[in-house]
Amino acid sequence: MKSVLYDLRPMRIFLILMVLISIIFKPVPGTEIIYEGWAVFTTLLLPVFSPILLMLLWLDSLIAKLWSTQTEGAEQKRYKMILRINLSLSLIFILVWYPYFRAFSE
């Protein structure tokens, strides 16, 4: 476990934690926005930041793919692991948030 965290490095760990927090605290579709108190976090900030987090995951995946083609051995395996983690999280992220954003078009 320590090796995986070391391989991910602090910025990626922070990105992954933010994505997981966004998945866990996602509001129910149709929830009214609250502009004061702690509810601002789940009803306003998470829906605003969720597309940004998804784009950051995809950007990091693109960079990991680029670097994996230019390295060999253990470094290449590291970047491929990062790519798998990012794309897996992206898929989960889309599946979780899709109903929320789909509710806007209904």
> From residue 36, how far is each of 5, 22, 43, 95, 99 by CA, in Å?
36, 19, 10, 29, 25
Total domain count for the chain?
1
- What does the pLDDT look like over 19-55, one tens digit per residue? 999 999 999 998 899 999 999 999 999 999 999 999 9
Name the residue range of residue 18's domain: 2-105
Q: Which residues have CB under 8 Å from 71's CB, separation 6+?
A: 79
Sole residue written with tokens 């889309």? 94
- What does the pLDDT look like over 42-94, one tens digit per residue? 999 999 999 999 999 999 999 999 999 999 999 999 999 999 999 999 999 99
- Phi and psi of 8, rounded to 5°? -75, -30
Position 1 confidence tier, pLDDT thresholds 50, 70, 90: low
Q: If you compute the radius of gyration of the chain from its CA atoms, what whole number of angstroms results? A: 16
- The distance of Cα 43 from the centroid of its chain, to the nearest Å, equals 18
Q: Are 49 and 22 in contact (CB under 8 A)?
A: yes
Q: Look up the pTM and report it.
A: 0.90
Position 6 confidence tier, pLDDT thresholds 50, 70, 90: confident
